[in-house]
Chains A and B, each alone.
Chain A
Amino acid sequence: MERNLRAPVMAFVAALILSALSAAQAGPGSNFAGDWRLCLEEIVDIPDDLFELHIPVGCELVDCCPDCPGIDPTIYWRVRLEGSPFESASLKFDRLPKEISARLKVSGSAQGTADNLLIARGEALISGLPVEVAGRAPVAQLQLKLDAAWLQAREKQATGGGFGDVPDFGTLVIEQILGGFPVNAHQISFSFRRCGYVPTDRISLQNNASGDSASVWLDANRDGTCVTEDAERGAGLIGVGNVLANGGCRSEVVVLSDDDAMQLVENVSAWTDSPGDTLAVDMTPDRLMAPVTVWLARPDALTAAQADFDTANLLYNTNNTGIGFAPTFVDVSADPLAVAAIGHETSCRDLPRLLGSAYVTPDQLNVYYIDAVDTGVNCSPEGSNIQMIGTAAGNVTLAHEFGHSMSLDHSDGRLHAPGPDIMDPLARGRTHFMDGQSFRMNAHCSSSLNVNGVRSGPVRHCDHTIEGGITCPATTDTHCPRLQTDSVRH
């Protein structure tokens, strides 16, 4: 959905932290769904499905509650809706057997039936839900509703300058409980805060391919204070308020956009103390397409490989990384020498042998589809160009391994992304790269993008990256946005 933040008004940022937790508390192994940041003008235009959540009914593990008493054959849901931004949540169960629907009991802040429940702020209990049913699990469809009075009041305060930088929070927690033990849980948090500037100074994006809403990060002098990671979004002309002359401040701009390469503009000198300055940022070249040789070392791997690349290209581009992948498929599955050289393990143990063989294209990414029942691996740091993909790979495994090749380390799932983070090694349903991750993939000195010469431009030495064999020169600039940096998007 296209966004336009050019309206000369103060706006809100809504950060919707969607976290699906495997238990009531966040922690390792829990699923993390995301963190969205939207401006108020966008909230009214948001497609309904952004506020729509689908939560399967039942236990996270088939051994539902290890060693629990298990006296009650049913589970109950404890639903808590808290915070002023949300008025209520409507809930209906799909595929819930009629006899179970008829027996559901609701109390607390919930009212209605299984087909049409309304949950107000507070705590609601829904009891009588099944641990498991035959066939596909029933799914609860939740639709959150913003509180109209809150929205109106905040709009009024924002235009009057009365809404400060302290965000408003709203949270929805759903715990599925068996005999007192949580057996599945989802938590969705939302924060709304001020965003947007009167466009007295502007950044003008030129040649923005596809004209999408780009993510812009500004380091500059604001009101005599050096600010970093000041976030804006826009497609063409983007208001940034009155940015002052640099003084002693670092002044640079990073732009991340669909279909365009990342732009890192250093030493910006366009800003003066007077309003009306414009910084032009040329968004050429288009997205950087990394060439990839794909070695199909097992029969019938082509279909899966193409689907993996489709998914990787979708995720990298729609997350504004400015990176894509251009595969060349080479079927060596009938060549015993090739299969032997490539091996049968999703490991990097035989990396020297592979790198010394004829089955590697130097100075570019190589992916090997091998006959091993495993997910995938990237051989960073010694072999950052090498990816092994096994027969149990998920649809995001290849995208994840490419992230390693471009210097990213695993994240811990607590980045508050708009979707589960692609570099989280545990999360289900991963969809998102943070802008901080996109920056590293583009700018970090050990990223295969720079090492292979796909990108030319200034490099940085960032934290939360894989280095190892590639060491950034001591003089490399270490200034990088925080890993969890992300901008308004949906």
Chain B
Amino acid sequence: MRAVAIVIALLAATACAATQAMSSEESLALRRAAISWLECEECTNGELAALVKFGEKAVPTLGAALARGPSAATLEEVRMHLEDTYRNLVEYARTHSEVKVGLSEEAYVKLYLENFQAKYAVRAAQGLAALGGPAARKYLDAAAKRTWRKDVNAAILKAAR
């Protein structure tokens, strides 16, 4: 884990050195663009193109998202929503027979939380592939060596190619 962190830090430092510091507005805009791409549903509103406009500056952000996934705070926000929904489902199922609630709360949360993380990883990899360049390549190569969920693995290998 420590070694991974060091590699990520070195990659980030390399990428940062190649770019000029951003203004606070630019940093905020990049953060928003990254979130839009990483989390969009069908991504039909030009989310990737908006992120690619940042060029190399977007590489460390996407690289970190690929290496480490969603932030703990974002993951918690998603988890809280899933837990709330599940509780509502159980309550609703008492009076509506079409709802079966075949999963335990733990399984329901796990299913969708893992899907959220999968989406994050794949979108980060696709974003890095779209950005291109040696720094993006390093992140993709590092990711390609990791063990992922089968479908995520295939998508990351495709992006790395």
Q: Which residues of A contact B (CB under 8 A)?
A: 20, 22-23, 27-31, 54, 56-68, 132-133, 135-137, 139, 180-184, 210, 289, 303-304, 306-307, 310-311, 313-314, 317-318, 324, 326, 371-377, 391-395, 397, 400, 410, 425-426, 428-429, 431
Are B115 and A393 in contact, CB atoms less than 8 angstroms apart?
A: yes
Nearest Cβ distance between residue A236 and chain B, in whole angstroms? 19
Are A66 and B71 in contact, CB atoms less than 8 angstroms apart?
A: no
Q: A410 contacts which chain B residues (CB < 8 A)?
A: 44-45
Are B75 and A391 in contact, CB atoms less than 8 angstroms apart?
A: no
Tell me the B110-139 residues at the A interface (CB within 8 Å).
111-112, 115-116, 118-119, 122
Q: A307 contacts which chain B residues (CB < 8 A)?
A: 102-103, 108, 111
Q: B43 contacts which chain A residues (CB < 8 A)?
A: 425
B10 interface residue (CB < 8 Å to A)? no
A-B contact pairs, 19 of them (CB 8 A): A27-B32, A29-B35, A57-B73, A63-B61, A66-B60, A137-B71, A183-B31, A184-B73, A306-B100, A307-B102, A307-B108, A307-B111, A311-B89, A313-B96, A314-B92, A374-B119, A375-B41, A392-B115, A395-B82
Are A425 and B45 in contact, CB atoms less than 8 angstroms apart?
A: yes
Are A60 and B31 in contact, CB atoms less than 8 angstroms apart?
A: yes
Q: A54-B80, A373-B122 are in contact. Are A63 and B60 (CB under 8 A)?
A: yes
Are B155 and A373 in contact, CB atoms less than 8 angstroms apart?
A: yes
B77 interface residue (CB < 8 Å to A)? yes
Please indicate which of the listed interface residues A30, A318, A391 has the most CB atoms of chain B within 10 Å of its own CB.
A391
A310 nearest CB neighbor, chain B only: B99
Which of B36, B73, B92 meets A137, CB within 8 Å? B73
Are B42 and A375 in contact, CB atoms less than 8 angstroms apart?
A: yes
Q: Give the distance in Å from the alpha carbon of A210 to the alpha carbon of B96 in the complex.
A: 11
Q: Give the distance in Å from the alpha carbon of A440 to the alpha carbon of B103 in the complex.
A: 33
Q: A392 contacts which chain B residues (CB < 8 A)?
A: 115-116, 118-119, 122, 151
Are A314 and B89 in contact, CB atoms less than 8 angstroms apart?
A: yes
B92 nearest CB neighbor, chain A only: A314
Are B151 and A371 in contact, CB atoms less than 8 angstroms apart?
A: yes
Which of A62, A310, A318, A397 meets B71, CB within 8 Å? A62
Q: A60 contacts which chain B residues (CB < 8 A)?
A: 31, 35, 71, 73-74
Are A395 and B85 in contact, CB atoms less than 8 angstroms apart?
A: yes
Q: For chain A, what secondary structure do more than half of its interface residues adopt (helix, strand, loop), or is it mixed?
A: loop
B160 interface residue (CB < 8 Å to A)? no
Q: A397 contacts which chain B residues (CB < 8 A)?
A: 41
Q: A58-B73, A310-B100, A394-B112 are in contact. Are A373 and B27 (CB under 8 A)?
A: no
Are A23 and B103 in contact, CB atoms less than 8 angstroms apart?
A: no
Q: Give the distance in Å from the alpha carbon of A363 to the alpha carbon of B76 in the complex.
A: 41
B21 interface residue (CB < 8 Å to A)? yes
Q: B28 contacts which chain A residues (CB < 8 A)?
A: 23, 181-182
Which of A66, A326, A391 meets B118, CB within 8 Å? A391
Please indicate which of the listed interface residues A28, A210, A303, A375 has the most CB atoms of chain B within 10 Å of its own CB.
A375
Q: A431 contacts which chain B residues (CB < 8 A)?
A: 81, 85
Q: A54-B80, A311-B85, A314-B88 are in contact. Are A306 and B102 (CB under 8 A)?
A: yes
Are B70 and A62 in contact, CB atoms less than 8 angstroms apart?
A: yes
Q: Which residues of B contact A (CB under 8 A)?
A: 12, 16, 19, 21-22, 24, 26-28, 30-36, 39-45, 57-58, 60-61, 63-65, 68-82, 84-85, 88-89, 92-93, 95-96, 98-103, 108, 111-112, 115-116, 118-119, 122, 151-152, 154-155
Are A324 and B19 in contact, CB atoms less than 8 angstroms apart?
A: no
Are B101 and A310 in contact, CB atoms less than 8 angstroms apart?
A: yes
Are B41 and A66 in contact, CB atoms less than 8 angstroms apart?
A: no
Q: Give the distance in Å from the alpha carbon of A181 to the alpha carbon of B21 in the complex.
A: 14
Q: Give the distance in Å from the alpha carbon of A391 to the alpha carbon of B99 in the complex.
A: 22
Are B154 and A56 in contact, CB atoms less than 8 angstroms apart?
A: no
Q: Give the distance in Å from the alpha carbon of A426 to the alpha carbon of B39 in the complex.
A: 6
Are A132 and B71 in contact, CB atoms less than 8 angstroms apart?
A: yes
9 closest Cβ contacts across the A-B interface? A429-B81, A58-B73, A137-B72, A63-B64, A56-B73, A56-B76, A392-B119, A373-B151, A137-B76
Q: Give the distance in Å from the alpha carbon of A240 to the alpha carbon of B79 in the complex.
A: 42
Q: A289 contacts which chain B residues (CB < 8 A)?
A: 98
Nearest Cβ distance between residue A449 and chain B, in whole angstroms? 17
Are A326 and B30 in contact, CB atoms less than 8 angstroms apart?
A: no
Q: A183 contacts which chain B residues (CB < 8 A)?
A: 31
Q: A137 contacts which chain B residues (CB < 8 A)?
A: 71-73, 75-76
Are B31 and A61 in contact, CB atoms less than 8 angstroms apart?
A: yes
